[in-house]
Amino acid sequence: MQPRDLSTHATYEAGRGIEEVAREQGRDPDEFVTLSSNENPHGPAPAAVEAIRAAASSAHAYPKAAHADLTDRLAEEWHVDSAQIWLGNGGDGAIDYLSRAMVDPDDTVLVPEPGFAYYAMSARFHHGRVRTYELSKDDDFEQEPETILAAAEHDRLLYLTSPHNPSGSTASLETIERIARETADETLVVVDEAYGEFAETDSAVALIEGRDGFDARDDVAVIRTFSKAYGLAGVRLGYAIVPGTWADAYARVNTPFAASEPACRAGLAALDDTDHVEQAVDSARWAREYLASTVDAPAWPSDGNFVLFDVGDGTAVAAALQDRGVIVRDCTSFGLPGCIRVSCGTESETKRAADAIGDVLATRDGRPTADEEVSRS
């Protein structure tokens, strides 16, 4: 007895956590900071923590009311109908629901390279075939319509990421609208806005609803998550916003009660705590500017809560940083072996990371480290 042939399926490679690295090195976890998974360094909103505690006593019941309350609240937030909100177990859960709704066996799905590995994983889980379009380092990972349209065929799903992970580039509404307009009639353009709160670009929800001077479209969907700006990565809560013309497909593709009671209650509480989200966004914008201006390595402009650096050998630099207690993302798994991605931490974490990267690069290049410069002066 064997599972079906999974030889073409990749495994998801997550950023390394403190406990994992500390156990591996036999060190105290308190020696480390982790800036590898683009998490909110300020944690969840206090109100969300209280909501999770309160929901624990009703964990025996299915989340009927909580699920409906959250979809209604999100619909109000985005000015859409409740049926257009597809809750999922994280943003990846929402991606799976779109795959279930759209992809027949052997349909093609077009994904960015580099990009979030789960786009392709979900397509293959649902017996789709994966095709890629390249976002080039030399072009600052710019999401040019010409590049994407040249790669597009009769794909069932086409993924854009704004801000893009791992580079931080964004796609304008004009770009997204042109791609949706010029791709095949059967193509759904999925805009992943997991990091949308950190960017100053407008959400592609405007294209679904026909706002801001655009005609309403039924071939665009948007992915959002509570994992990043809201600090709820551990409860796994995300959602898709889909066109109203086919929103009722959710009832046929979702799992029973797609998000848990604690997750829904935490999401509702987090939506009310706008100060916490503003703190996370302001902190990330400061940190990415500090990193880009302080670290002596080429960096790409980012609208996410992270910065991508070209350090020549991402694996070696990430390992050396790990020895110094700073965990960052080696981007080899993204097809960028020369790069590391550094998440935006608190002020102290960000400064520690910048200093550590500077010391690692200086040691490698035979230059004085920061401490050596101080001692010489």
- Give whole-number Cα distances, 76 to 45, 233, 315, 332, in Å: 21, 23, 45, 41
The residue assigned the tokens 């985005």 is: 78
Lowest mean pLDDT, pick from 57-61, 144-148, 156-160, 218-222: 57-61
**Is the same domain home to 64 and 180?**
yes
For residue 109, the SS3 value is strand
Lowest mean pLDDT, pick from 54-63, 146-155, 287-296, 343-352: 54-63
pLDDT class of 363 with cuts at 50, 70, 90: confident
Q: Which of 272, 296, 328 is the last residue of a domain?
A: 272
The CATH code of the domain that includes 284 is 3.90.1150.10
Distance CA 91, CA 104 (A): 21
Residue 142, amino acid: E
Does residue 10 belong to any structural domain of this protein? no
Q: Which of 254, 272, 290 is the last residue of a domain?
A: 272
pLDDT at 257 over 60: yes
The β-bridge partners of 310 are 339
Q: Are 234 and 89 in contact (CB under 8 A)?
A: no
Q: Which of 257, 272, 287 is the last residue of a domain?
A: 272
**Is the same domain home to 135 and 155?**
yes
- The parent domain of residue 340 ranges over 18-43+275-370
**Token pair for 171:** 């796609």
pLDDT class of 23 with cuts at 50, 70, 90: confident
Distance CA 128, CA 288 (A): 37
pLDDT at 262 over 60: yes
Closest CA to 294 of 243, 370, 372, 186: 370
- Residues 246-274 have a mean pLDDT of 94
The β-bridge partners of 353 are none
Predicted confidence at residue 374, as pLDDT, reads 47
Higher pLDDT, 91 or 15: 91
**Token pair for 142:** 């710019």
Q: Are 155 and 108 in contact (CB under 8 A)?
A: yes
Mean pLDDT across the chain, nearest whole number? 93
Predicted confidence at residue 14, as pLDDT, reads 72
pLDDT at 377 over 60: no
Q: Mind listing the pLDDT tens digit for each residue in 164-190?
A: 999 999 999 999 999 999 999 999 999
Number of structural domains found in the chain: 2
Closest CA to 348 of 12, 14, 35: 35
